[in-house]
A = this chain, B = another copy of it.
Amino acid sequence: MVKVGILGVGTVGESVAKILIENSDIIEARAGRKIVPMLGAVRDLSKKRAVDIALTDNPEDIINNPDIDIVVELMGGVEEPYRLVKKALSNGKAVVTANKALLAYHRYELQEIAGDTPLFYEASVAGGIPIIGALRNGLSANHIESIKGIMNGTCNYMLTKMIKEGVAYDDVLKEAQELGYAEADPTFDVGGFDAAHKLLILGSLAYGIDAKPEDIIIEGIDNITQTDVEFASEFGYEIKLLGIAKKMGDGVEMRVHATLIPQDSMIAKVDGVMNAVSVYGDRVGETLFYGAGAGGDATASAVIADIIEIVRGNSSPMLGYKKSLESGLKLLNKDEIVTQYYIKLKVQDKSGVLASVASTLGEYGISIESMLQKPSKKEGKVRLLFTTHKCEEKRMKEAIKALENLDTVESDITMIRIEK
């Protein structure tokens, strides 16, 4: 019998204990041994739990317990779980965590400390979708050319509502908050930080890149308006919040931002709270993995899959590569990324304005792919919408600054990156 201790018995922790009990038949058949939830650590012992598991308010009771084989960390936060996971590992206990923030900051130290002790984290990215397993095992013969993921269900729910039902950003945010999809302070989701933590984990598996959140472009969906949604559609695009990791020679781009993607791509068809990760391998071509990215049971499904792998005695290199064999790729600076752009700007409705905008872009070596001019609601103004050919982010930023300095251009220029 394998005994599991759970640090943090909230929604996911309850599901882990419940599924270990309710699906014990299939879990034992697949793992070859019985697996039982033995003890959970919680902050408030008096709170009623939806599952029958012994509780303690001292996490040390779990990580120092000689009877416990596997520690599941579902606490949230970074430093306290980091301390406890390190201690559990040094006590020789296998660890399963769903904590993406912990891994976004400390995955390389944890890999070092874990050594040959399993430290698994399938649930940390895209909930129930076995994307870590796919990158670590299923696609391991490939150089990964790119990863593009819808990894935040809150943002995808909001964008879907904006696109399909024409709801305004503020209204859909309020609705998402009422449904419990978004927090009272939604910044972590709508600002792209949650997706960024997940992307950093995938970037390690695919490229061996040791980056922190502050090293990569992180933007959210909070500047997307109905106008952008409508014009995107006229250009044949959907808007999604994507986490993108992509190889460019010896460099790797990593970035999270609202992105225009062709309407007919598979990932554009992923609606509502669902997640999906598209992975291009140099040999396999495009693969896509779709499913529930959050929720207690879906996340617990991934946690327990890891537990079963540990019980089977399986282990793969925690971050995809054997420790001594890093990939040698390096993270590109935020300004070095190269992509196509959508630009929206409001200009005065007089002759020569379009020419001056186009020539400004030209000065920075940016060539226009398509253009649309629409009357603005305000009299005497028009909206110009461009999509550009590929150019370096640095040039695009300089060009936008230059455009904003033109007398005829209003100051609010929207830029959304395009991914084909």
Contacts and interface: CB of A to CB of B under 8 A. Distances in A.
Interface of A: 15, 19, 23, 26-32, 122, 128-130, 133-134, 137-143, 208, 266, 269-270, 281-292, 295, 297-298, 300-305, 308-309, 312, 314-317, 320-322, 325-327
B122 A308 contact: no
A283 B297 contact: yes
Contacts of A291: 284-288
B141 A327 contact: no
Nearest to A132: B138
A29 B321 contact: yes
Interface centre among A288, A300, A315 (most CB of B within 10 A): A288
| Copies of this chain present | 2
A138 B142 contact: no
B122 A321 contact: no
A13 to B, nearest CB: 14
Contact of A19 (B134, B141, B304): B141
Given A29-B322, A29-B327, A290 B266 contact: yes
A377 to B, nearest CB: 34
Nearest to A291: B287
B285 A128 contact: yes
A210 to B, nearest CB: 15
Contacts of A269: 266, 269
A314 B133 CA distance: 13
A304 B138 CA distance: 9
A313 to B, nearest CB: 8
B130 A134 contact: yes
Given A32-B317, A304-B140, A287 B285 contact: no
